[in-house]
A = this chain, B = another copy of it.
């Protein structure tokens, strides 16, 4: 399968590492031979119709901060050129999330679909801004469109709902979907220190963004709830439909009181037909949602199965590549591979 990767940060590099390390596995288990024919990052692009030399590509990106220095590479904003001009089956759209405009991912995805290419993305922006439009466009163009990595990192939340729980009506989805806030709340609860201190430390450890507003104020979780509402519940929801309260007002005292009562405070996103909400909630200790650290967890309430919960790592390039590669194999199988 001929692949274009747009956005070459941790995730794009994570996939290439998996392509290198697991080439035999993909070929033997699925008859899948991924060939990366073009990569664009913010500064430039590398193209080889016969397949890029991935170890060399990774080395170039790590030494120079851009793939433009790969032999024959070019400087400039070249993503759209690659998407439209390079012959390929599938585009991985892995640029950073912009929840206001969805760009540049939104245009990348549309152009890829319009040029008949399948799309796999981790980018929440385009999904939050234009889910329905992209979903319709994929159908109309007859291309596959997957976005498992946009919710839950390595945890296959969307696939579980759409592929495995499909005999059920999904009555409610509740999730701990933001690793940064969960790490902060877990440490507040364990150590009783104020969140500002922990945020600062988390930033130093690379566990929180320089501007952690999107996490702390619940916006990141609200994006994921919007995506789940659209993709799993079939609701045409916008980000502004989600009632959002972040964790800023959660104090160490509150976490201690919760703990004494056998509970724990989690930032929980909820999606039901009549409610889209993100808010700190008490969760009983021992409940599947009471995960600690940077773990993610989701509980589905179902008409037949009762409650089904899934937990795992919500972030990390290697972990999240599990979801991206799961999507790739799914597309490969759907196409009869």
Contact = CB atoms under 8 A, between A and B. Distances in A.
A288 interface: yes
Given A305-B322, A308-B154, A163 B166 contact: no
Interface in A150-190: 154-156, 159-160, 163-169
A115 interface: no
Interface string A316-327: 101101111110
Given A167-B326, A304-B325, A325-B304, A310 B309 contact: yes
Is the contact region of chain A dominated by helix, strand, or loop, or is it mixed?
mixed
Nearest to A307: B312
A316 B312 CA distance: 26
A20 interface: no
A175 to B, nearest CB: 14
Contacts of A326: 164-168
In the complex, the count of this chain's copies comes to 2
A176 to B, nearest CB: 13
B302 A306 contact: no
A23 interface: no
Contacts of A25: 169
Interface string A43-80: 00000000000000000000000000000000000000
Contacts of A325: 166-168, 304
Contacts of A29: 166
Interface in A273-326: 285-286, 288, 290, 292, 302-313, 316, 318-319, 321-326
A18 interface: yes
Nearest to A15: B167
A28 to B, nearest CB: 11
Contacts of A167: 18, 321-326, 328-329
A126 B140 CA distance: 44
Given A163-B164, A165-B156, A326-B167, A319 B292 contact: no
Contact of A308 (B155, B302, B316): B155
Contacts of A155: 305, 308
A312 B304 contact: no
The 3 closest A-B pairs by CB, nearest first: A167-B325, A305-B322, A154-B305
28 contacts: A22-B169, A25-B169, A29-B166, A154-B304, A154-B308, A155-B305, A156-B308, A163-B330, A165-B322, A166-B330, A167-B323, A167-B325, A167-B326, A168-B325, A285-B286, A286-B290, A286-B292, A288-B288, A288-B311, A304-B322, A305-B313, A306-B316, A306-B319, A307-B313, A309-B310, A309-B311, A309-B312, A310-B310
Given A154-B305, A163-B163, A167-B322, 9 more contacts: A18-B304, A156-B308, A160-B310, A167-B329, A304-B322, A305-B322, A306-B316, A308-B312, A310-B311
